[in-house]
Amino acid sequence: MDSPKNILVCVTQQKTCERLIRKAANLKNELKGELFVIHVAKNAWNFLDNIKEGEALDYLFRISKSVGADLSVLKSDNIVETIVAFAKEKNISHIVMGESPNDHKENNFFSDLKSMLPNIEITVVPQEEI
């Protein structure tokens, strides 16, 4: 029997990330693994002072719980390394993330993750699927 496949969803502090959590929940049902949701905030970001971001994270927390996942909010100035460490610790086999907005194409988030986690399947959900 195959070992369970654990799935990690990378979210930002936006309610639109609900679609990523729901897509990963479907994958979890197929793969029979555990589902983890992570949001990494830079140390300088104080999202608790920002009502909108706090509300969005609370909303994503509730969505995560509804599909049987834990939402972890971590603070780090190196977002990619933090996600890589989390993925290794939780024995992640799949990552679900959203496509970067067009004005962030220089953001090499996907490439960095892929190079640091070559054995993990990464699914990028296009923005059109919102």
d(CA 122, CA 110): 8
Asked whether 25 and 36 are in contact (CB, 8 A), the reply is: no
Digit-coded pLDDT (tens) for 8-26: 999 988 888 999 999 999 9
pLDDT of residue 104 exceeding 70:
no
Digit-coded pLDDT (tens) for 26-35: 999 999 999 9
Q: pTM of the predicted model, to two decimals?
A: 0.88
Q: What is the mean pLDDT of residues 50-57?
A: 78
Asked whether 60 and 17 are in contact (CB, 8 A), the reply is: yes
d(CA 89, CA 107): 25
pLDDT of residue 2 exceeding 80:
no
In order of their start, the domains of the chain are 6-129 (3.40.50.620)
Q: What is the mean pLDDT of residues 39-51?
A: 72
Phi, psi of 12 (to 5 degrees): -105, 180
